[in-house]
Amino acid sequence: MDRTEFGNLLDRIGQMIEKSTPMEAEYWRGYYQGIKFFYRGGMITVRDHYHLRKIAAMAHGDPYHAAYLRGYRDGCDGKEPLDTPQAHDIPSERDKAAG
């Protein structure tokens, strides 16, 4: 991925954040941070990276936190946006309130 493709990807992620539900937007915010890490080859310390990855793998009571961390993990793994969980994979706020 060259610089132009990367910029286009960040623009698409920004659009996804704007048109998504709040929980989906948290996923995309995390993905945004993770894909930047992936593209740059690691701009934070290894210790911080693995700490964030460990947190991402843990179960959390806050679904927004979990969505952000899931997005970060997917971005760090370099997954294409089409390979990431979309709206149908992230429980809506209505589903959380009902269940």
> Looking at per-residue confidence, does 47 or 95 come out higher?
47
In angstroms, what is the C-alpha Rg of the chain? 14
Which tens digit of pLDDT belongs to each residue from 12-35? 999 999 998 898 998 998 898 888
Residue 94 lies in a domain: no
Determine whether 24 is exposed, middle or buried from the number of CB atoms within 10 Å of its CB (0-12, 13-18, 19+). buried
What is the pLDDT at residue 13?
92
Boundaries of domain holding 23: 3-82
> Looking at per-residue confidence, does 40 or 39 come out higher?
39
Q: What count of Cα atoms within 13 Å lies in the side-chain half-sphere of residue 23?
A: 17
First to last CA, the chain: 41
pLDDT over 80 (residue 87): no
Residue 95 lies in a domain: no
Q: Which residue has the tokens 């809506």?
A: 92
> Looking at per-residue confidence, does 58 or 35 come out higher?
35
What is the pLDDT at residue 85?
56
Neighbours of 81 (CB within 10 A): 15
Residue 43 lies in a domain: yes
